[in-house]
Structure 1
Amino acid sequence: MSSTTTSITCTGLTFGWPDGTPVLDGLDLSVGPGRTGLIGLNGTGKSTLLKLIAGELTPLGGAVRVTGELGHLPQNLTLDTSLRVDEALGVADARAALHAIEAGDAAEEHFTAIGDDWDVEERARATLDQLGLVGVGLDRTVGEVSGGESVLLRLAALLLARPDVLLLDEPTNDLDREARQRLYAAVSAWPGVLVVVSHDRELLGLVDRIADLRPDGVHWYGGNLDAYEEAVAAEQEAAERMVRVAEADVKRQRRELTESQSKLAKRVRYGNKMSANKREPKIVMNQRKRDAQVSGAKHRLLHEQRLEDAKERLDEAAEAVRDDAEIRVDLPFTAVPPGRRVLTLRDVELRCGARATLDVHGPERIALLGRNGSGKSTLLRTIAGGLPAVAGEVETHVPVRSLPQRLDVLDDDLSLVENVARLAPEATNNRVRAQLARFLFKGARADRTVGTLSGGERFRATLAAVMLAEPAPQLLMLDEPTNNLDMASVRQLVAALGSYEGALIVAGHDVPFLRDIGVTRWLRLDGELNPVDPEEV
């Protein structure tokens, strides 16, 4: 494939969900060689666009053309847990044929299965090692690896397939710090066309260009995320300046219209006075009256048109200013006094073999760190009562709610209002809707079916349902909460948690986010639960 050939072309691409919710409307997009970061607010259709390009969804209109072989790493990866690792990598047939030939079976079908790929086993192991999956044998099953390792396993399969075009959708979700570093290295070395949807600042720092997907189409910016943010900041400053200019123009046009109407009223009063005093012939006064009416009407219409034009310019200027609304949390019943005991763990042994002893008091904010597979999610599920401890004592002293990684709290077939009502049966419909509005689901948005929401919208909806549940949670646990969130949504989440007054335990690898939410204690789960110096994180 020529390095100058455009590899992805979307023309007039239109897509909507079966319930009528529009996602893309006449989108045009061309992506060439290099690394492209695809960003945009949650719900603008980033993941949907990748699925359309990959052929996993059928557009309602328009066309997609991809030049070359394509590989796609989806956001919500599901692998058959019964598959062997070599099957998940797509090398099982070639590997079996190679072993058969080595055992003396010279059947033609074995040579056909191998082709020119005689080093397939070595390449597979080298690729696994490159991504940090050193201990993952080719004969193991997918069910034996962690969620983060399964993401790397799928990425390894794509690297082995050597596609010309690679689509990555939030690839750092579920990856620990070391795994992320390996993925960064793989992205940096990618020789073909790569499009990545992500909120990971370090990953977006490696791209060559940013494509910002907005309701009116794609806006392109050269350079990585830092260059994009500088350009957007300049755009925002210019847009806000234009709003101020347009506002001043509207005020001036209103003032001139008022002055014009005042002058016209004075002329009318003067004419009436002259008519009453009969100082001029009647025919002259009537003509002056008609002339004044015509002139006044023209003058008024001119100023009214100028005012309308000024208002339109103001509306256009205001639309150019981006509005990343903030989630607002107002739940006074979540507050926990500083000295109150919230959680007690005594010599708890988890199913994964890890052990934990912990006391949590008052509105502490705890960051739970650890490598993939160390048991962070298992610990949170055990505290929430979803999994029994193998040994030890787990005691919660306040109402607890947990937001799991898989966001499976909500019923996909029900609306947002119906889902929240299930968790807060005593709340009135008006109260439910008022609270959902605080989480940016206003009006008809609250009636959307959960199954039609984007990853970020689903997170926000799940957070709303969990926070609004009865009784109000005084201990809130979040597992990898920034997965699937765009950067604006991460800022919204930081603001929401800033106004939450209960205790907080957050498992994650997004250190900048953890610092932003004001973590007061850092813990690492690595066989045992131990404190960590914040300076070493």
Structure 2
Amino acid sequence: MSSPLRFTHLTFAWPDGSVVIDDLDLLVPPGRSGLVGDNGTGKSTVLRLAAGDLSPTSGSVRAEGRVGWLRQDLTLRAEERVDDHLGVRRIRAAIRAIESGSVDETDYATVGDDWDIEERVAAELDRLGLPNDILDRRLGELSGGEAVQLGLARVLLQRPDVLLLDEPTNNLDTSAREHLYGVVETWRRTLLVVTHDRDLLERVDRIGDLREGSVQWYGGGYTAYAAQVEAEQEAAVQAATTARQDMRKQKNDLIESQRILSGRKRYADKMYATKREPRAVMKLRKRAAQVSAGKYRQLHEDRLESAKERLDEAEAKVRDDREIRVDLPATEVPRGREVLRADLALRTGARVELDLRGPERIAVVGANGSGKTTLLNTITGAVEAEGLLEVKVPIGMLDQRLDTLDDSLTVFENVKQRAPHADDNEVRARLARFLFRGAKGDQLVGTLSGGERFRATLAAVLLAEPAPQLLLLDEPTNNLDFSSYDALVSALASYRGALMVVSHDQGFLEDIGATGTRRPLRL
């Protein structure tokens, strides 16, 4: 099978010398492929290299045909018109001029072969769930989700042979996600998507797992991928257990061999001292015994070294995706106790009536731009609103930007700032439960990977004084790798307070129990 996208001995390092990708060989086959891996492994960098946005330090990237790239960090100019952003404004204007009687050759040259541009644009907008009249609006009038959809429309209008998508479901509401899923399901050329959206990954033909500088492919969507990885991990754990047992056996055999050799030496020394045989014979026997003992000892040392190598190899295949296990009794809210009461008119125009009690978990849902984030910011006091708002417990908020920590301070110092009266040893013990053990807690936040930064922010929020008894989460699964996702779910399993979650990820809402008996708050 040919590979429309290939990376050969690819290395990329930033100007400061830090290596992101080292000697990567990767063949991306035709069809729909997903790319997953822990935060910081270089997935987005792979897409940027494929798109030509970055140049390799060494090695090569080759793509067959036109490449279209939807980047994760879209940069938009608020005053720019939508049709200008899509690259079709001049063509539209030229077509209208010609329809009005223009015979200017410049207009005909501008149109070229794009006489059907209006129909193509309308089709792509409709395909993504965007209205056709959006073309005459300004980018600053769009929601974050509409901006992502528009960015995808811009890429699709290029008719790419290779389509690269970087976290395309971020900020998309449920309806917009369904339209995106439709695009992926019907894609007939080459697609490489970096995403942690499990529903999107169910719609690809294969998934590549980028780990420790190489990619391993798994056939099928997310369910098939997860089953294969689980089977591999069970085998890897068993192999590591067997190798560990063998190493213990070889250690014991080496100790036993040393005991036997010591006994032989004592016997030989005794024979030599009592002179029971001629001196020359005893010297010859002693020399032979030393050679034999050396070979015997070396045999067991070699076996032990071989056992260590097998153990290292087996343990390297066991993934270190540990879960966060925390006990947070101070976050507990008695069942029935009033936590929050609100009757608000948000600045977005939405009206909210809410009475939250005890350890309830409520999902806040709605279309992009409906006011979900505004509601959370209103509850924290960051945004003003008209009406009644009574918050009766301490609040903690984990926003989607993860920018609340001080990059110049360590993880420990950031948490300590929020819990100044806590004992240092207790803070470090709690951080260990968030997988910041020993020197990891003294690492500067600015040097953390995406997944580490997420865990550090979560620790700072949950370990704050006073402990948050109402936790607000704003699209918390955006950009999370699978191990960080699992860490969040396991941490929230230990959380005993009330929870309000803004999320379009239905699977996540189910995993944390926010789709139980209480109906979602829809804006």
Deviation (angstroms), 1:287: 3.2
For 1:260 and 1:203, how far apart are their aligned partners in 2?
Answer: 59
Cα distance in 2 between the residues matched to 1:376 and 1:106: 51
Q: For structure 1, which runs of at least 5 residues remain unmatched after alignment?
A: 528-537
Worse-superposed segment, 16-25 or 298-307: 16-25
The correspondence for 1:201, drawn from 191, 198, 206, is 198
TM-score, length-scaled by structure 1: 0.89
For each residue in 1:121-148, what CA deviation from the matched residue of structure 2 results, as whole angstroms up to 9, or x when unmatched? Answer: 2221221111111375211122222211
Query: Is contact 2:5-2:62 (8 Å) kept?
Result: yes
One-letter amino acid matched to 2:474: D
- For the residue of structure 2 that corresponds to 1:137, the secondary structure is helix
Select 2:107's aligned residue among 105, 110, 114: 110
> Residue 418 and residue 262 in structure 1: after superposition, are their counterparts in 2 closer, same or farther (change >3 A)?
closer
Q: 2:147 aligns with which of 123, 145, 150?
A: 150
Distance (Å, rounded) in 1 between the aligned partners of 2:258 and 2:53: 63
Give, in angstroms, the shift of residue 8 of structure 1.
Answer: 2.1
Supply the AA of the counterpart residue of 1:371: A
Are the aligned partners of 2:406 and 2:445 in contact in 1 as well (CA < 8 Å)?
Answer: yes
Tell me how far apart the structure 1 counterparts of residues 288 and 72 of structure 2 sit (CA, whole Å).
72
Correspondence 1:482-493 to 2 at 5 A: 482-493=477-488
Per mean C-alpha deviation after superposition, the further-off stretch among 270-279 and 482-491 is 270-279
What is the 5 A alignment of 1:103-252?
Answer: 103-134=100-131, 136-252=133-249
Aligned partner letter, 1:30: L
The equivalences for 1:374-413 within 5 A come to 374-389=370-385, 391-411=386-406
For the residue of structure 2 that corresponds to 1:138, the secondary structure is: helix
How far apart, in 2, do the equivalents of 1:442 and 1:54 lie? 38
Larger displacement relative to structure 2 (436-445 or 233-242): 436-445
Distance 1:221 1:288 in 2: 62
Q: Distance in 2 between matches of 1:413 and 1:119?
A: 54
Question: 1: CA distance between counterparts of 2:444 and 2:75?
Answer: 23
1:491 match: secondary structure: helix
Which residue does the alignment assign to 1:535? none
Distance across 1 between alignment mates of 2:445 and 2:225 = 32
User: Hey, what does 2:24 align to over in structure 1?
Assistant: 27
- Paired residues for 1:281-296 under 5 Å: 281-296=278-293
Identity of aligned residues (%): 59
SS in 2 for 1:367: strand
Report Cα offsets for 1:409-464 as digits up to 9, x if no partner: 24556665565455456668776665554433456655666566554444333323
The separation in 2 between residues aligned to 1:161 and 1:466, in whole angstroms, is 44
For residues 266 and 449 of structure 2, what CA distance do their matches in structure 1 show?
A: 64
Per-residue Cα deviation, 1:157-204 (whole angstroms, up to 9, x for no partner): 111111111111111122222221111110111222110011122211
Tell me the CA shift for residue 297 of structure 1: 2.2
Q: Which runs of 5+ in 2 are unaligned?
A: none
- Equivalent in the alignment of 1:533: none
2:69 to 67, 72, 92: 72
Partner in structure 1 of residue 34 of structure 2? 37
Alpha carbons of structure 1 residues 448 and 265: separation in structure 2 relative to 1, 3 Å:
closer
Q: Which residue identity does 2:199 align to in structure 1?
A: E
SS at match of 1:387: coil
Query: What is the aligned counterpart of 1:301 among 288, 294, 298?
Result: 298
TM-aligned CA deviation for residue 495 of structure 1: 0.7
Q: Superposed, which structure 2 residues align to 1:135-534 within 5 Å? A: 136-275=133-272, 278-345=275-342, 347-389=343-385, 391-411=386-406, 416=411, 419-420=414-415, 423-424=418-419, 435-442=430-437, 454-519=449-514, 520=516, 522-527=518-523
Aligned pair in 2 of structure 1 residues 410, 108: CA closer, same or farther (>3 Å)? farther
**SS state at 1:72 partner:** strand
Secondary structure of the equivalent of 2:136?
A: coil
**Which sits farther off after the overlay, 402-411 or 29-38?**
402-411
Matching of residue 81 in structure 1 with residue 78 in structure 2: yes
Alpha carbons of structure 1 residues 258 and 447: separation in structure 2 relative to 1, 3 Å? closer
